[in-house]
Amino acid sequence: MLGDVERARQFSSEALRVAERFGADHSIVYALAACGVASCLALRWEEADGFFERARQRIATTGAGGEWGSVIDGHWAVARAGMGDRERSLALARSAVEHARANGVPLVTAIDGIHRARVLRVIGGPQYQHELEAQVAEAFELFLRADMKSWIPLILLERAGLARLRGDADGMARDLAEARRLFAEMGVTGWDDYARSIEAS
């Protein structure tokens, strides 16, 4: 959440070493997922893809860690988008949100919604604008309802990206400014480059 790439990679790698040493499948799935998330933060898409593939294989083989499936798929969708795999990325993003909705877990639905919004914007493009708008609105509403304020700047970044896609420079500027204000309140600087990439896209 802090966007701190180096510490994320350090801690997730250590977690995976410990999990593999003790051999608990559930812990290994969780650690693989964490490594994949850290790799996504570092924009190391192929590396992330490998971690998510291993996590999904272990779930399929052992049945352990299945509750993390939609979270894995949401991040995996971002990795596949980074790799340019449009169809796989869109399919993973959609299935992650649908699975979270079906399980009735609003926070996971909202988190997966952030990833789907990013995928729809980055790799879907203008033809997915209406789906993107609906996804952003749903995630934003779920975070507000759950009073999960720490997640709101992340969905604001995607809403800024939507405004950019529409050619709404003022809307983009407002959402980026609000996201940056909220990040500053939390002392978070790890998403600065991502915010700038939206402005420059």
CATH code, domain with 34 = 1.25.40.10
Please, which pLDDT band fits residue 201 given cuts at 50, 70 and 90?
A: confident
Question: Percent of the chain at pLDDT above 90?
Answer: 89
pLDDT tens readout for residues 113-148: 999 999 999 998 788 999 999 999 999 999 999 888
Q: Quote the number of domains for the chain.
A: 1
Average the pLDDT over each of 63-67, 89-93, 146-150 and give the range with the smallest value.
146-150
pLDDT at 154 over 90: yes
- Domain span at residue 56 reads 5-200
Q: Label residue 84 left, alpha or beta by phi (over 0 means left) and psi (-120 to 50 means alpha).
A: left
DSSP codes, 139-191: HHHHHHHTT-GGGHHHHHHHHHHHHHHHT-HHHHHHHHHHHHHHHHHHT--TT
Residues across the chain: 201
Q: Measured between alpha carbons, how far is 186 from 201 in angstroms, rounded to an integer?
A: 26
Provide the pLDDT for residue 125. 79
What pLDDT was estimated at residue 119? 96
What number is the average pLDDT over the span 189-201? 92
SS3 64: coil
In tens, the pLDDT along 8-42 reads 999 999 999 999 999 899 999 999 999 999 999 99
Give the per-residue pLDDT at 131.
94
What pLDDT does residue 126 have? 84
The verdict on pTM exceeding 0.85 is yes
Average pLDDT over residues 94-123: 93
* pLDDT over 90 at 79, yes or no: yes
**Rounded Cα distance, 106 and 101, in Å:** 7
pLDDT value of position 133: 96
- Mean pLDDT computed over 46-72: 96
One-letter amino acid identity for 144? L
| Residues above pLDDT 70, as percent of the chain | 100
What is the model's pLDDT at position 141? 95
Angle between helices 45-62 and 69-82 (to 10 degrees): 150
Interatomic CA distance for residues 120 and 130, integer angstroms:
10
Cα–Cα distance between 142 and 41 in angstroms, integer?
Answer: 24
